[in-house]
Amino acid sequence: MGNQHVIRENDQLAIDYIAGLQTLSVVEDETTRQLFAKTFKAFGDDTRLRLISFLTIAPACLCEMVDALDIANSTISHHLKILERGGVVQKEKRGKFTVYELADKPLVKALLHLLKQEEGR
């Protein structure tokens, strides 16, 4: 790393980092940053996007998602856990079934809308 190109000096980097945090002050808090990271991770996979899209129509149990999306039970379970950690879906026990639904449908639809806008670029 002896010939590393330096764009800014270390002092300036620290100043710029703090200014960047102030520009988007919500990410100053580590807990909030981690929640955002988990939420955006939930949207960062093809299978999870398929599950999210499916759940925008109506809540569903695991067996319905397996049948509708033709994805293995274990794969869907794995992705549902990531979606839960990201606060995108929530689950509720109904009799012998666990039903999954979007935790915040307007927020999810807004994020999907933003993704659709990016698709056109």
DSSP secondary structure code for residue 44 in this structure = S
Bigger pLDDT: 2 vs 91 = 91
What confidence tens digit (pLDDT) does each residue in 46-58 have?
999 999 999 999 9
Question: What is the structure's pLDDT at 9?
Answer: 73
CATH 1.10.10.10 corresponds to the domain 30-119:
yes
Which of the two residues, 19 and 121, has the higher pLDDT score? 19
The per-residue pLDDT for range 60-112, each reduced to its tens digit, is: 999 999 999 999 999 999 999 999 998 899 999 999 999 999 998 888 888 87
- List, as own/partner pairs, every contact residues 92-100 make where C-beta atoms lie below 8 angstroms and the sequence separation is at least 24, other chains included: 94/61, 97/61, 97/62, 97/63, 98/61, 98/62, 99/59, 99/60, 99/61, 100/55, 100/59, 100/60, 100/61, 100/62, 100/65
pTM as predicted: 0.72
- pLDDT given for residue 1 in this prediction: 47
**Averaged pLDDT score across all residues of the chain:** 85
